[in-house]
């Protein structure tokens, strides 16, 4: 692996003013600017080493494409959260052989199972600043031309990067499109499940404890990366060999104590710290409340249609877990916004920013950009409200598959470089694996129940929010009889062949004419909706093009205004590598409420009821009662720590992030935040923001005392 000359400016421009607080998901290139505070907080290694993504320790940090992870052995062993690997556990499970319930452990490499289709491990190999190439001349273009030009340049740069076999490249945007960085990664396509504790450990507390403290969840699991015999990226094959990373993390059995330095390295998904007032108002007055109501009904519908213990429930476990997580997070966002007065705080920020702009005539262009962005936000919100229920009404799994397949047939009429993202040759492996994965995540009766729910909400919408072509195609004109609608949907499921994976895969090579001649009802509906959806897509792209002209100026105004106050501006999270740091720390998010920094094994006994989700394995309970702590106890708490709190700044996508001590040794995995913290996506509050980690001492204790994973312990570098 090699490092480019641009790594010093990695992922973002380096601000010159000191950061005033621990708030911030920093790009590695910013870390030298806060080196003094890193050292004062407790970091013992040179902060400069953290800017080298191909060196130690950052070279051990990887992305799973939605979660974070890290190498912990020279033989490609990767540790991440249980909930990040749970989709692969679910994919390999059946009602008769349920790894979700029983856990999975490969005693030898030959026993490891292929992860769910589409699973990837991404290892960063090179970073390049491509801002000049991306932005050259775009300011003079119309909105649609700007959008198309930026997208085409992004595709061209990516295609050039991916000429190296086995590479997966990404052009990432920072500060609202003011800067662009090309990230080149090795794409490990052969990912295998090595070990995941049973849900009664890895998901202990379930949705009840999700986002809550105290927590006692063993949220960890292991994958292994495999490559071809020559070391190149390769699809699954029995001939493949474990990938040998240049760097892997040592695992600490000594762990941490209250107040110790910690940092997390991972790939946070997105934050909205710089969203405008109009964006905040629309989100918290309409979008989030609407989602909470819908998702609760959605969960109830799945649970009724897929009874506990059925094969259908196994197929929908991952979706249910995701919906429950999303619902609770969204409720936390709403409660947090109310508690801190988010709308008023954002209004005050914009008033202060406006006053700063007005104080200098040379800043007028900033004010124009902000006004334009506010107006565009209102316009986009109106379009989103109109499309919201239609998007759900067209969500059935087989309709979605038919729409993607028909779109693919149309896109293939174009040269590959001109196709839409997601439909280029580089995307076809993912495309096919997504079609295959449907086999273990689809049941007709459950899919129909969801469709009926979404249609009920759609039919309640006023006429201006209905889509005529959809109503005509599905017969939703006039008074809709519930029994007749149910029978109509039955005819779709009875008349389709898209429930067969071989049929779906074969249609990847079909022409538009093949689809247009099809008698499959889902394909007919997809064809009928195609032109309308392309029109909506074109309108959305035109709005995005206008935003691409306005948001860089808005972010420049924010940056310059904060700099005038002695503050720096870190970019919003965008699924690129970030570092956040702080200390092991409890807290008091509300009057009379105190959070201790650690939970213990004994807390599992106190919570345990013997019924899901508080149904720890009998062997684990016995070991706890016997106080068989082994070498993993923390003297200050007199037990083995299970989870711990820190004041790190994190969000979704950080799941599985390596939590490192002052010497960059693995001491835990970041897996959640407290309920009071979730609103920090929008507005950081140092009093309430706390992140939850699973302690490596608990991970090792479970592996040693409960699941007999001694082979994995021996494979890792365990340090005291």
The model's pLDDT over 376-410, given as tens digits with 9 standing for 90+, comes to 999 999 999 999 999 999 999 999 999 999 999 99
Both 347 and 487 in one domain: the answer is yes
pLDDT of the residue at 351: 97
3-state secondary structure of 191: strand
Both 550 and 409 in one domain: the answer is yes
Active-site option among 73, 82, 83, 129: 83
Preceding amide of 494 cis, omega within 30: no
In angstroms, the CA 648 to CA 24 distance is 9
Task: Answer whether 444's CB lies under 8 Å from 499's CB.
Answer: yes
What does the angle CA 171 – CA 27 – CA 6 come to, to the nearest 5 degrees?
Answer: 60
Beta strand 691-695 with 718-719 is: unpaired
Beta strand 718-719 with 251-252 is: parallel
- Numbers of helices and strands, H then E, in the chain: 24, 20
In angstroms, the CA 35 to CA 43 distance is 9
Task: Answer whether 716's CB lies under 8 Å from 72's CB.
Answer: yes
For helices 311-340 and 444-459, what crossing angle results, to 10°?
Answer: 40
Both 261 and 281 in one domain: the answer is no
Task: Answer whether 64's CB lies under 8 Å from 122's CB.
Answer: yes
In angstroms, the CA 506 to CA 567 distance is 56
Record the tokens describing residue 336, joined without a space: 């947090």
What is the mean predicted confidence (pLDDT) over 135-143?
97
In angstroms, the CA 91 to CA 318 distance is 9
15 has a pLDDT exceeding 50: no
Name the domain boundary from 558, 583, 608. Answer: 558
In angstroms, the CA 378 to CA 368 distance is 16
The model's pLDDT over 81-118, given as tens digits with 9 standing for 90+, comes to 999 999 999 999 988 999 999 999 999 999 999 999 99
Residue 144: inside a domain: no
Quickly tell me which residue has 């991972």 as its tokens: 266
Instruction: Please report, to the nearest 10 degrees, the dihedral formed by the alpha carbons of residues 688, 689, 694, 696 taken in order.
Output: -110
Both 233 and 335 in one domain: the answer is no
In angstroms, the CA 17 to CA 178 distance is 19
Task: Answer whether 616's CB lies under 8 Å from 200's CB.
Answer: yes
Both 291 and 362 in one domain: the answer is yes
pLDDT of the residue at 590: 87
The model's pLDDT over 182-196, given as tens digits with 9 standing for 90+, comes to 999 999 999 999 999
In angstroms, the CA 387 to CA 187 distance is 35
Task: Answer whether 56's CB lies under 8 Å from 664's CB.
Answer: yes
Confidence band (pLDDT; 50, 70, 90) for 294? very high
Bigger pLDDT: 94 or 130?
A: 130
- Respond yes or no: is residue 655 known to be catalytic: yes
Region for 103 from its dihedrals, namely left if φ exceeds 0, alpha if ψ lies in -120 to 50, beta otherwise? left
In angstroms, the CA 76 to CA 680 distance is 34
Quickly tell me which residue has 């992030």 as its tokens: 657
Query: Of 2-11, 358-367, 443-452, 479-488, which gets the smallest average pLDDT?
Result: 2-11
Both 267 and 281 in one domain: the answer is no
For helices 311-340 and 342-358, what crossing angle results, to 10°?
Answer: 50
Both 525 and 633 in one domain: the answer is no
Bigger pLDDT: 135 or 477?
A: 135
12 has a pLDDT exceeding 60: no
Both 316 and 239 in one domain: the answer is no
Both 481 and 624 in one domain: the answer is no
Beta strand 61-63 with 68-71 is: antiparallel
Chain centroid to Cα 427, Å, comes to 19
Residue 169: inside a domain: no
Name the domain boundary from 558, 580, 615. Answer: 558
Residue 401: inside a domain: yes
- Respond yes or no: is residue 230 known to be catalytic: no
CATH code of the domain covering residue 197: 2.40.10.120
pLDDT of the residue at 16: 33
Residue 104: inside a domain: yes
The model's pLDDT over 674-709, given as tens digits with 9 standing for 90+, comes to 999 998 899 998 889 999 999 999 999 999 999 999
Residue 131: inside a domain: no
Confidence band (pLDDT; 50, 70, 90) for 169? very high
Domain holding 517, by residue range, is: 277-558
Confidence band (pLDDT; 50, 70, 90) for 486? very high
3-state secondary structure of 460: coil
Both 475 and 387 in one domain: the answer is yes
Active-site option among 129, 190, 199, 219: 219
Active-site option among 73, 119, 655, 657: 655
What does the angle CA 665 – CA 325 – CA 106 come to, to the nearest 5 degrees?
Answer: 50
Beta strand 179-188 with 167-174 is: antiparallel
Residue 8: inside a domain: no
Both 697 and 612 in one domain: the answer is yes
pLDDT of the residue at 19: 37
Both 408 and 343 in one domain: the answer is yes
Looking at the 3D structure of the chain, how many domains does it have?
A: 2
DSSP symbols for 87-143: HHHHHT--SSS-HHHH-EE-SSGGGPEEPSTT--EEEEEEEEE-HHHHHTTGGGS-H
Q: What percent of the chain has pLDDT over 70?
A: 97
Q: Which residues contact 212 (CB under 8 A, 6 or more apart)?
A: 205, 674, 675
pTM over 0.85: yes
Name the domain boundary from 532, 558, 584. Answer: 558
- Respond yes or no: is residue 82 known to be catalytic: no
Residue 340: inside a domain: yes
Task: Answer whether 220's CB lies under 8 Å from 669's CB.
Answer: yes
For residue 401, give the nearest of 462, 442, 351, 345 by alpha carbon: 442
The model's pLDDT over 211-247, given as tens digits with 9 standing for 90+, comes to 999 999 999 999 999 999 999 999 999 999 999 999 9
The model's pLDDT over 627-645, given as tens digits with 9 standing for 90+, comes to 999 999 999 999 999 999 9
Record the tokens describing residue 421, joined without a space: 């993202």
Residue 418: inside a domain: yes
The model's pLDDT over 306-349, given as tens digits with 9 standing for 90+, comes to 999 999 999 999 899 999 999 999 999 999 999 989 999 999 99
Confidence band (pLDDT; 50, 70, 90) for 30? confident
pLDDT of the residue at 11: 30
Chain mean pLDDT for the chain: 94
């Amino acid at each position: 692996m090699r490092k480019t000359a641009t790594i010093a400016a990695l992922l973002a421009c380096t601000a010159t003013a000191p950061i005033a607080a621990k708030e911030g998901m920093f790009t590695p290139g910013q870390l030298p600017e806060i080196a003094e505070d890193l050292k004062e907080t407790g970091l013992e290694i040179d902060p400069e080493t953290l800017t080298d993504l191909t060196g130690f320790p950052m070279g051990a940090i990887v992305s799973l494409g939605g979660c974070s992870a890290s190498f912990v052995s020279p033989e490609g062993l990767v540790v991440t959260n249980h909930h990040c690997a749970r989709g692969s556990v679910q994919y390999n499970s059946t009602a008769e052989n349920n790894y979700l319930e029983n856990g999975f452990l490969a005693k030898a490499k030959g026993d490891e199972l292929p992860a769910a289709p589409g699973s990837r491990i991404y290892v960063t190999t090179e970073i390049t600043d491509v801002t000049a190439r991306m932005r050259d001349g775009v300011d003079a273009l119309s909105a649609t031309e700007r959008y198309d030009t930026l997208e085409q340049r992004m595709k061209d740069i990516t295609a050039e990067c991916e000429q190296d076999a086995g590479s997966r490249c990404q052009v990432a945007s920072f500060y609202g499109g003011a800067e662009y960085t090309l990230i080149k990664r090795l794409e490990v396509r052969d990912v295998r499940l090595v070990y995941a504790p049973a849900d009664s450990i890895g998901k202990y507390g379930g949705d009840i404890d999700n986002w809550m403290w105290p927590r006692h969840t063993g949220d960890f699991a292991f994958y292994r990366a495999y490559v071809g015999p020559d070391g190149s990226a390769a699809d699954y094959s029995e001939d493949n060999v474990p990938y040998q990373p240049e760097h892997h993390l040592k695992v600490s059995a000594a762990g941490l104590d209250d107040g110790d330095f910690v940092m997390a390295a991972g790939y946070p998904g997105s934050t909205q710290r710089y969203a405008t007032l109009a964006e905040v108002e629309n989100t918290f007055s309409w979008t989030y409340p609407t989602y909470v109501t819908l998702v609760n009904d959605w969960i109830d519908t799945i649970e009724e249609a897929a009874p506990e213990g059925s094969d259908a429930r196994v197929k929908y476990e991952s979706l249910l877990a995701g919906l429950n997580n999303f619902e609770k997070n969204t409720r936390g966002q709403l409660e947090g916004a109310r508690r801190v007065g988010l709308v008023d705080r954002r209004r005050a920020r914009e008033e202060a920013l406006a006053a700063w702009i007005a104080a200098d005539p040379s800043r007028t262009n900033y004010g124009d950009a902000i006004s334009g962005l506010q107006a565009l936000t209102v316009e986009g919100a109106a379009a989103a409200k109109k499309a919201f229920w239609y998007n759900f009404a067209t969500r059935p799994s087989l309709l979605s598959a038919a729409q993607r397949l028909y779109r693919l047939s149309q896109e293939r009429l174009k040269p590959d470089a001109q196709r839409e993202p997601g439909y280029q040759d580089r995307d076809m492996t993912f495309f096919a694996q997504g079609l295959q994965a449907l086999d273990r995540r689809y049941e007709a009766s459950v899919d129909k129940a969801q469709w009926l729910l979404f249609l009920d909400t759609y039919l309640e919408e006023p006429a201006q929010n209905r889509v005529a072509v959809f109503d005509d195609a599905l017969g939703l004109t006039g008074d809709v009889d519930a029994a007749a609608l149910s029978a109509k949907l039955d005819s779709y499921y009875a008349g389709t062949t898209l429930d067969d994976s071989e049929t779906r895969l074969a249609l990847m090579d079909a022409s538009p004419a093949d689809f247009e001649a099809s008698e499959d009802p889902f394909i007919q509906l997809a064809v009928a909706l195609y032109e309308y959806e392309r029109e909506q897509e074109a309108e959305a792209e035109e709005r995005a093009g206008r935003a691409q002209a306005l948001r860089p100026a808005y972010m420049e105004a924010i940056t310059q205004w904060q700099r005038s106050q002695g503050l720096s501006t870190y970019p919003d999270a965008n699924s690129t590598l970030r570092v956040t740091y702080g200390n092991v720390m409890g807290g008091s998010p509300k009057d009379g409420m105190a959070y201790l920094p650690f939970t213990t094994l004994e807390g599992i006994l106190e919570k345990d009821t013997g019924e899901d989700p508080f149904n720890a394995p009998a062997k684990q309970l016995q070991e706890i009662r016997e106080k068989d702590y082994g070498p993993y106890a923390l003297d200050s708490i007199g037990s083995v720590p299970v989870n711990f709190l820190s004041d790190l700044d994190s969000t979704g996508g950080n799941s599985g992030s390596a939590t490192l001590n002052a010497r960059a040794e693995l001491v835990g995995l970041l897996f959640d935040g407290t309920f009071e913290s979730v609103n920090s996506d929008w507005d950081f509050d140092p009093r309430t923001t706390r992140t939850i980690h699973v302690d490596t001492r608990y991970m090792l204790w479970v592996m040693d005392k409960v699941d007999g994973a001694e082979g994995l312990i021996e494979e890792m570098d365990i340090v005291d």
